Amino acid sequence: MAAISPPNAAGRAEPPGRRRAYATGRRRWIGWGFVAPFLLVFALVFLAPIGYSVYLSLFRDRLIGGNSFVGLDNYRQAFHDHEFWSGLGRVGLFLAVQVPIMLGIALLVALALDSGRLHGRNFFRISIFLPYAVPAVVATLMWGFMYGNRFGLVASLNEHLGLSLPDPLSPHLVLASIGNIVTWEFTGYNMLIFYSALHVIPRSLYEAAEIDGAGQFRIVRSVKLPAIRGALVIATIFSIIGSFQLFNEPSILKSLAPNAITTYFTPNLYTFALSFSGQQQNYAAAVAIVMAVVTMIVAYVVQLRGMRKEA
Amino acid sequence: MTNKALRRWAQGVAVLCAATLGLTACGSSGGSDGGSGSGDTKAGASGVQSALAKGGSITVWAWEPTLKQVVTDFRAKYPKVKVKLVNAGTGNDQYTALQNAVQAGKGVPDVAQIEYYALSQFALGKSVTDLGQFGAKDLQKTYSPGPWNSVNINGGIYGLPMDSGPMALFYNKKVFDQYKIAVPTTWDQYLDAARKLHKANPKAYITSDTGDAGMTTSLIWQAGGKPYSVDGTKVSVNFGSDPGTSAYTKVWQQLISEHLLAPVPGWSDQWYKGLADGTIATLATGAWMPANFTTGVASASGDWRAAPLPQWQAGQNASAENGGSSLAVMKASTNKELAYAFVQYANQGAGVQTRIKGGAFPATTADLDSQAFLDTTFPYFGGQQANKIFSDSAKNVLSGWSYLPYQVYANSIFNDTVGKAYVSNTPLTSGLNAWQTASVKYGKDQGFSVG
Amino acid sequence: MTTEVLASAVEPSRSGPYAVPRPSRPARRHSVDRPRRSVTLTVLTSLVVIYTLVPLAWLFINATKTQPRLLNSFGLWFSGHFALWDNIRETFTYNDHIFVRWLLNTLLYVALGAGGATFLAVLGGYGLAKFDFPGRRGVFAVVIGAVAVPPTALAVPTFLMFSRMGLTNTPWAVVIPSLISPFGLYLMWVFASEAIPDELLEAARVDGSGEIRTFFRVCLPLLAPGIVTVLLFTMVTTWNNYFLPLIMIKNPDWYPLTLGLNAWNAQAATAGGQPVFNLVITGSLLTIVPLIAAFLLLQRYWQTGLSAGSVKQ
């Protein structure tokens, strides 16, 4: 994200001293001025609640006995909490499988669209992007119905084709089924990010490559992919963060698969249950903060690796 | 110039922030902590009358559909009183919202619908008013024993019963006739019926069950079990050596192991379908179910009948409650007299008849015993006078049952623990054991002394 | 970063994975700009499209069924009785036209939330891109870091905070948190860096234009395609917002469409409740139609925007 350095303005002789002062002195404050509105709301909406959350995590408010300061007890409890770690492991697994698949499909489709070798490119672009416009509630309802193995699509396929497809909502398969819903929802969105990044690659690069006799696959590997590295990294980071925070889909699907989706299925579901069913906000705050730290570490590592490769 | 610009910016932002924070549009009424009333019931009762005369406005959080008509009638009778009926969610969703509001100290309604199993949690948290001050203690004879026991907590009356759910067995007569199955009178016979049905038609099941805390606890209740004992803040949870629980698991484990239960979650799309097309042949649930049959399973009208709940031992006559709610007055309400006036109207006064007409199942003994009520025919059940069965069941509800003071939470983790028995080879008793352990742990975490 | 990579790629390398022999081959008949259309590729991509569209087709097909027929007809085909218009009418009129109210609520939240978020993101992105001030990278790192915090961690504290300020159960409880779009900030940052040449800014400054005037007069028009993109994304996010309103709004009069549909869905699960799955499905269909329409209408702006950005010296 380096700013394009301005070439020497032709015909406008400025005393170098004055320009430097302009660049360092006042420009600073103006920069802050533009960013300030965002940051103010950000402080209200994120920083204040995070601060309050940290504060809450140091106390314990019980039904009998009221509020008391417990220091790092909640964190100690979180480290020994089997339910928390199983949820964390589950989203880790989800992440390792679903994110590459989804980004892979998105990348392939973006490359296909960009290659210009498709009939009806615009139709493809719009229709693959459509699921992003569907709210998670609706998407989960639709897929939830189709997964029904007594009256849903799976049942119909079983009946009419004589198959015996396994129940997508059984404990073994439910995570994959949720992965399918998430992939369906977000492939188009990521595809559009990649496609936009591909679209801004200057034509001159392709012409140069063509003159040198490069084939399509060569161009993809050596021109296109490196050029969109930034978009790839950002998409990966946002997908990772999204995976760690998986909540909407399992929450809505839970009523259809109450025994397969436990209240601690993902860390977010766990903190939600702790806060709202168990009224244990202090412990929930501690778990959430641990979760946030883990997410940030992973996201940071990904960003470092992604940015380092291009140096 | 830049400084001026910056100052203008800062001012603009400050105005924006102030405007944002300053604009409030309060939804519900409710306010800060009101003090609890004195113990003088006469003063309380007359206070209610004068509150009605004076008028005012109250907010009611409830999901019960029959209350809409009650509110309309109430407002017609007392034009000075404004009643705002809000559906803030069903069951757990509303309890969460209530607890959040109580904690925030803002937005608490005056009246809230709270199911019997959840009421003690709110009573313990001291967020509901003791209605004894308004004369509610005299109402014991008005209500059937099951619901009254649930609102009578530690000597105080924390809500007025709104409806009740004495259990009965609903069965699909068409299916039973087709496969020549007799209506079971004991749970062992029920087990045999289940086997017979499923053998004759592998697509059909005697009932559906994917793990439901309410049904499990109610059936254990019917079997005479007392796994929970509550004495103030001393609580004990014991499924392991409770005889009622063993009777339940003996039968239910066989139903699970032999795959005789439809793996369809209750109240889902598929569940309604199953009830309609006969693949779910019975339902053991509370007497409030007929209204749901009429609206949700209309196509099977005439196929179903009601019967007494099967017994755990032949010749017995035990029953239990399943579901049912009360109306409570929240402590944070600033208009307690008016709130109680509404609760009294809805649950003791003219509102009861209105609700019965709307399909609710009453908790009042007068109505349960009235001839008109008992003679009501149900077109949905082929003209059967089902209220006779329900009323009998209400009389036979076993006494001595308690729920945990944190039953809402305990129920929320039921599927995490006992649910495993439904989807794997874990025995039901192990599942209940896990539930017991988790419930005990939570109780200890919350400061109870759990034995 | 992107520019550095691009710069290094212009010179054909003679070593490494992309080594090319010096003598050049004759130019191909089909150039990069006008490649041969491939049927295989089209078919493969069509599979992805089918995967994408089947659930939407399910939604449409089942919106044409009445509640009883929903329960006894095959999921992926019509039930013989076309009840779409009835369903739509019933969706709008059920329960005293509450659906219309929900629709208006959603429009309000989107207008204020997405509009506000875009405004803040544009300002912020511009500031980050065009002004070299200390702590610039820190700002972005903090924003991304905050996104990593699970919303469930923030839910109760935010709820308690907003309660004290009297904002819960009001539109503000939903709008204010929607004003922060880290992705929008990032998009605008990148877009502003690339679409606004520094010399243009210098020229304006030298001409005596204040920073704010420069921003509005000179930069905004250049940023237009990026603004539309961010607007579109934030519109989708606020339109589909579910978790936040779930915590903040308890009064059904202020529900957005997502909460309303969920409430209708849960309605079947209560004693005496009436299952209205057909309305849930029809309502869902009606909920996604405006967004899809917006996408289709605004796609021209993307195309202009993207191709404008692609013309580089």
pLDDT tens digits in sequence order for chain C, 313 residues long = 343 333 333 434 445 455 444 444 444 344 455 666 778 888 888 888 999 998 888 888 888 888 777 666 666 677 777 888 888 888 888 878 889 999 999 999 999 999 999 999 999 888 888 887 777 778 877 877 777 776 766 777 788 788 778 888 889 999 999 898 887 888 888 888 888 888 888 888 888 877 788 888 888 888 888 888 888 888 888 888 888 888 888 778 899 998 888 888 777 666 556 777 888 888 888 988 888 888 778 776 655 544 443 333 2
What is the rounded distance in angstroms from the CA atom of residue A10 to the CA atom of residue C108?
Answer: 49
In a domain, A145, yes or no: yes
Count of domains for chain C: 2
Q: Say if residue C177 is in the same domain as residue C294.
A: yes
Tokens coding C76 = 């992926």
How many Å apart are CA A309 and CA A305, to the nearest integer? Answer: 6
Give the model confidence (pLDDT) of B351-400 as tens digits: 999 998 888 899 999 998 999 999 999 999 999 999 999 999 999 999 88
Nearest Cα to Cα of residue B363 among B87, B139, B134: B139
Q: Contact at 8 Å (CB) between B270 and A151?
A: yes
Cβ contacts of C164 on chain B, cutoff 8 Å: 104, 106
Closest CB from A37, A145, A259 relative to B422? A259
Q: Tell me, yes or no, whether C146 and C93 share the same domain.
A: yes
Per-residue burial over C19-58, b if 16 or more Cβ lie within 10 Å, else e, is ebeeeeeeeeeeebeeeeebeebbeebbebbebbeebbeb
C159, C163, C270, best to mutate vs chain B, most B CBs in 10 Å: C270
CB under 8 A, 24+ apart: contacts of B429-438 = B429/B239, B429/B240, B429/B249, B429/B253, B432/B239, B432/B240, B432/B245, B432/B249, B433/B239, B433/B240, B435/B239, B435/B410, B436/B227, B436/B237, B436/B238, B436/B239, B436/B240, B438/B410, B438/B413
Distance CA(B288)–CA(B322), nearest Å, equals 9
> C167 and C234, same structural domain?
yes
Task: Give the end-to-end CA distance of chain B in Å, rounded to a whole number.
Answer: 74
Nearest-CA distance from B424 to chain C in Å? 26
CB of A115 within 8 Å of a chain C CB? The answer is yes
Q: Does residue A253 sit at the C interface (CB-CB below 8 Å)?
A: no
**Closest-CA residue of chain B to A62:** B446
Is the pTM higher than 0.90? The answer reads: no
- Determine the structural domain holding residue C62 and report its residue range: 37-82
- C259 and C123 in one domain? yes
Tell me the chain A residues in contact with residue B273 when contact means C-beta distances shorter than 8 Å.
150-151
Output the CA angle C151-C153-C158, nearest 5 degrees: 80
Return the pLDDT at C35: 66
Neighbouring residues of B105: CB distance < 8 A, sequence distance ≥ 6: B32, B33, B332, C163
- C133 shares a domain with C92: yes
| Residue with tokens 């409806």, as numbered in its chain | B163
Note the pLDDT of residue C253: 85
Asked if C297 and C245 touch (Cβ cutoff 8 Å), the reply is: no
**Binary contact (A277, B92; C-beta < 8 A):** yes
Q: Which one, of C285, C277, C292, lies nearest residue C94 by Cα?
A: C277
Angle between helices C84-130 and C257-267 (to 10 degrees): 140
- The answer to whether the complex's ipTM is over 0.85 is no
Retrieve residue A283's tokens: 């412990």
Rounded Cα–Cα distance for residues B76 and B395 (Å)? 35
Please check whether residue B238 is in contact with residue B443, taking contact to mean a CB–CB distance below 8 angstroms.
no
pLDDT by 10s per residue, chain A, length 311:
332 222 233 333 444 444 444 445 566 677 788 888 899 999 998 888 888 888 888 998 887 877 888 889 899 999 999 999 999 999 999 999 999 999 999 998 888 888 777 777 778 888 888 888 888 888 888 888 788 766 667 777 777 777 777 888 888 889 999 999 999 999 988 988 888 788 778 888 888 888 888 777 787 788 888 888 888 888 898 888 888 888 889 988 888 888 889 999 999 899 888 888 888 888 988 988 888 888 888 888 887 887 765 54
CB contact under 8 A, C159 and B24: no
For B76-233, strand residue ranges (E) read: 81-86, 111-115, 152-153, 156-157, 160-161, 167-172, 207-208, 228-231
Q: Round to whole Å and give the CA distance between B100 and C159.
A: 8
Smallest Cβ distance to B423: which of A30, A40, A260?
A260
C138 and C269 both lie in a single domain: yes
CB B307 within 8 A of CB B385: no
**A69, A85, A283 from A60: Cα distances, Å:** 6, 21, 7
d(C-alpha C305, C-alpha B325), whole Å: 59
| Cα-to-chain-centroid distance, residue B214 | 9
Length of chain A: 311
Note whether C150 and A271 are within 8 A (CB): yes
C73 in contact with chain B, both atoms CB, cutoff 8 A: no
**A-B interface: how many C-beta pairs under 8 angstroms?**
91
The answer to whether residues C296 and A126 touch, using CB atoms and an 8 Å cutoff, is yes
Q: How would you classify residue B381: left for phi > 0, otherwise alpha for psi between -120 and 50, otherwise beta?
A: alpha
Q: What is the pLDDT of residue C303?
A: 53
Distance, in Å, from the CA atom of B222 to the CA atom of B239, rounded to the nearest integer, reads 15
CATH number at residue C137: 1.10.3720.10
Domain match, C112 and C230 both = yes
Given CB atoms, is A30 within the 8 Å cutoff of chain B?
yes
Give chain B positions within 8 Å (CB) of C210.
1-2, 5
Q: Is C27 contained in some domain?
A: no
Q: Are A259 and B210 within 8 A, CB to CB?
A: yes
Residue C70 with chain B: CB contacts under 8 Å: 269
Quote the Cα angle for C255-C256-C258, to 5°: 110
The packing angle between helices A281-309 and A267-276, to 10°, is 160
Using the beta-carbon criterion (under 8 Å), do A280 and B445 form an inter-chain contact?
yes
Beta bridge partners of residue A61, listed in sequence order:
A67
Number of other CB atoms surrounding residue C294 within 10 Å: 17
pLDDT at C161: 81
**List of chain C residues whose C-beta atoms are within 8 Å of the C-beta of residue A296:** 145, 148
Do C73 and C139 lie in one domain? The reply is no
Domain that holds residue A179: 75-308
Which residues in chain C touch residue B269, judged by CB atoms under 8 angstroms apart?
70-71, 275, 277
- pLDDT at position C66 is 80
Is the CB of residue B136 less than 8 Å from the CB of residue B357?
Answer: no
Residue A59 Cα, gap to closest chain C Cα (Å): 14
Of A171, A264, A277, the CB nearest to B409: A277
Cα separation, A188 vs A105, whole angstroms:
9
Category of B215 on φ-ψ map: left (φ > 0), alpha (ψ -120 to 50) or beta: alpha
Residue C272 inside a domain? The answer is yes
Could you tell me if C6 and C48 lie in one domain?
A: no
What confidence score (pLDDT) does residue C301 get? 65
Neighbours of C187 (CB within 10 A): 22
Number of domains chain A is built from: 1
Please name the member of B28, B65, B107 whose beta carbon is closest to the beta carbon of C273: B65
Residue A64 touches partner B, C-beta closer than 8 Å: yes
Please judge whether B5 and C159 are an interchain contact, meaning their C-beta atoms are less than 8 angstroms apart.
no
Is C122 found in the same domain as C235? yes
A 270-289 residues inside an 8 A Cβ radius of C: 271-272, 275, 281, 284-285, 288-289
Inter-chain touch C206–A199, beta carbons under 8 Å: no
Please tell me if residue A129 touches chain C, with a CB cutoff of 8 Å: yes
Does a structural domain hold residue A55? no
C152 contacts chain B (CB < 8 A): no
What backbone torsions phi and psi does residue B228 show, to the nearest 5 degrees? -105, 135
Chain C residue whose CA is closest to A132: C236
C109 in the same domain as C77: no
Mutate one of A26, A44, A63 to test the B interface: name it (highest B CB count within 10 A). Answer: A63
Q: Which residues does chain C have within 8 Å of residue B64's beta carbon, measured at their own beta carbons?
A: 271-272
Give domain status of residue A163, yes or no.
yes
- The answer to the question of residue A166 being in a domain is yes
Handedness of CA A254, A258, A261, A267 (dihedral sign): positive
Q: What is the pLDDT of residues C261-282, one digit of tens each?
A: 888 877 766 655 677 788 888 8
Neighbours of chain C (3+ CB pairs under 8 A): A, B
Q: What is the pLDDT of residue C12?
A: 44
- Mark whether C221 and C250 lie in a shared domain: yes
What radius of gyration do chain B's Cα atoms show? 25
Domain boundary among C45, C60, C82: C82
- Does residue A252 lie within any of the structural domains? yes
Flag if B269 and C277 touch (Cβ within 8 Å): yes
Question: A133 vs C189: CB contact, 8 Å cut-off?
Answer: no
Q: Which residue of B has its CA nearest to C177?
A: B20
Subunits touching B (CB < 8 Å, at least 3 pairs)? A, C
Within-domain flag for A15: no
The residue count of chain C comes to: 313
Q: Has residue C24 been placed in a domain?
A: no
Whether A67 maps to a domain, the answer reads: no
Which of B253, B245, B268 shows the shortest CA–CA distance to B194?
B253
Beta strand extents in chain A (DSSP E only): 59-62, 66-69
Assess if residue C53 is contained within a domain. yes
Whole-number Cα distances in Å, B387 to B165, B306, B391, C202: 12, 9, 6, 87
CB B415 to CB A259 under 8 A? yes
Contact B400, B178 (CB under 8 A): no
A258 vs B contacts (CB less than 8 Å): 210-211, 265, 415, 419
- How many C-beta atoms surround the C-beta of residue B392 within 10 A? 16
Any C CB within 8 A of A214 CB: yes
Q: Report how far residue C35's alpha carbon sits from residue A111's, in angstroms, rounded to the nearest whole number.
A: 13
Q: Is residue C29 part of a domain?
A: no
Measured CA to CA, the distance from residue C69 to residue C156 in angstroms comes to: 42
Where residue A185 sits, what CATH number does that domain have?
1.10.3720.10
Asked, for residue A202, whether it belongs to a domain, the answer is yes
Quick one: pLDDT at residue C1?
A: 36
CB A135 within 8 A of CB C287: yes
Q: Under an 8 A CB cutoff, do C20 and A214 touch?
A: yes
The number of C-beta contacts closer than 8 angstroms across A and C is 354
Report the residue of B230, B407, B423 to disrupt the A interface, i.e. the one with the largest count of A CBs within 10 Å.
Answer: B423
Asked if the Cβ–Cβ distance from B210 to A65 is below 8 Å, we say no
Q: Which two tokens stand for residue A193?
A: 């990010």
Q: What count of residues does chain B have?
A: 451
Nearest Cα residue to A8 out of B411, B56, C202, B45:
C202
CA distances from B8 to A22, B30, B275, C206 (A): 20, 40, 68, 22
- Contact residues, C window 180-219, toward B, CB-based 8 Å cutoff: 210-212
Q: Residues in chain B with pLDDT < 50?
A: 1-39
Q: Which residues of C touch B277 (CB under 8 A)?
A: 72
Q: Does residue C116 belong to any structural domain of this protein?
A: yes
* Residues of chain A contacting B16 with CB distance shorter than 8 Å: 37
